[in-house]
Structure 1
């Protein structure tokens, strides 16, 4: 009888080997794109890191563009692999997740560097990561805004102005993303200048506190 995936035969081992090989290529691509950017990072350099040829990398991913997209998707999976259910939580847990992510990022410079470089490059015309970056930011803004709405509803018994809440949580979500990305850039340039997790927690706490206060008792800006 021919071996199958269910009985532990050879085809199963081959498929598992292919998956492991693809992950090796993706991690090499993260290092290459993170240090040199998408346009300057070559498939040949990626291939050399894993003992393959340029053609071997193309066999697995088809093109440089497809490798980039797979690399970005891999980075997103790594971000949630420590979470139950493998997806971003909601409510208060979302903010804890963001701080935990910053703590984990402090131990994986290569992934942080690749993210910073590729999102920065994505604003240039025709860059293949532009669609991924737009979609990622849109999803994050929505998830953070929803978590803030949930938090606001938890902490107040008084009616709130829905239009006001929608406006303030949307601005706050963008601010949290911007602060986190800015702190990562500072940390990449000078790791000793800040504690990434502590600085992230401080910024998120401040924005969340101001958001809740503004949504429940509108404040006059002090500037």
Structure 2
């Protein structure tokens, strides 16, 4: 391939990025995601990964490898999810969209059952039901998105994917609220379990609202000569 100028080469290199450029609303949402995720990683996750919290390391020792597997899959789902929701990727690069979709599905198919196992055998009884329910809902919404796209029902697939990724975000939201901001419900108000329930309900409602907001309005049926020509 030959280029007449350096400008044409630059345009050719930038074409994929221009094609997948997110809408202004999506840019805002991605910036919000980064604003939540960056402090969580720096304040919460990095010290744990580096073994700086000895009390935490001792607590998770019996199931540490499972927790790290769950976290790794969760992070991969967190990173691949936005590419599934940006229209430019699925329109111009459907194969990339499909491959990343199966990566996203695979990570949740691992992370959700591991989360259930950890919840049942290793976390406090007060949080057990909420954690298991959240993981089951995470797995169910993801599988529902898969079933919908296999049936070529794009609108339903889009809705369930939004719900699934919203539940993926609870990993970040809960830690940002409790560990970065230091807000926790008191024990007599439900404690950590109440935070899990509240975050689950809120993110699913937010996902439904966003999908409804982005859905394009139906075009009116043609009238007059245009209608006769299309008949």
- Give the helix-richer structure, 1 or 2: 2
**TM-score under structure 1 length normalisation:** 0.30
Superposition TM-score, scaled by structure 2 size: 0.29
